[in-house]
């Protein structure tokens, strides 16, 4: 296999994987994108594990869409 062929195969694989990833979060704000506004509202100064802990601490205040996304993720849906 030539270097050119390997580069083309790698580019094709990257393009295919990117498309699959994009499908996991629909433009309508599905998935954890549903929590974006809540995260900014309640946990803007946090990142990574601290943000997850903050979201958990504020779970009663989260929007219904975010609560549903978190429940789906907890069940392995996202």
How much is the average pLDDT of 52-66? 95
Which range of 7-11, 18-22, 30-34, 44-48 scores highest in mean pLDDT? It is: 44-48
Total domain count, the chain: 1
Question: Domain range holding 39?
Answer: 3-74
Confidence of residue 76 (pLDDT cuts 50, 70, 90): confident
| All residues at 6 or more sequence positions from 12 whose CB lies less than 8 Å from its CB, including other chains | none
How much is the average pLDDT of 67-77? 89
């Amino acid at each position: 296999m030539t270097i050119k062929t390997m580069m083309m195969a790698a580019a094709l694989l990257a393009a295919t994987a990117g498309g699959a990833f994009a499908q996991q979060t629909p433009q309508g704000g599905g998935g954890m994108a549903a929590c974006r506004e809540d995260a900014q509202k309640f946990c803007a100064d946090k990142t990574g594990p601290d943000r997850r802990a903050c979201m958990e601490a504020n779970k009663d205040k989260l929007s219904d869409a975010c609560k549903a996304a978190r429940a789906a993720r907890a069940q392995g849906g996202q």
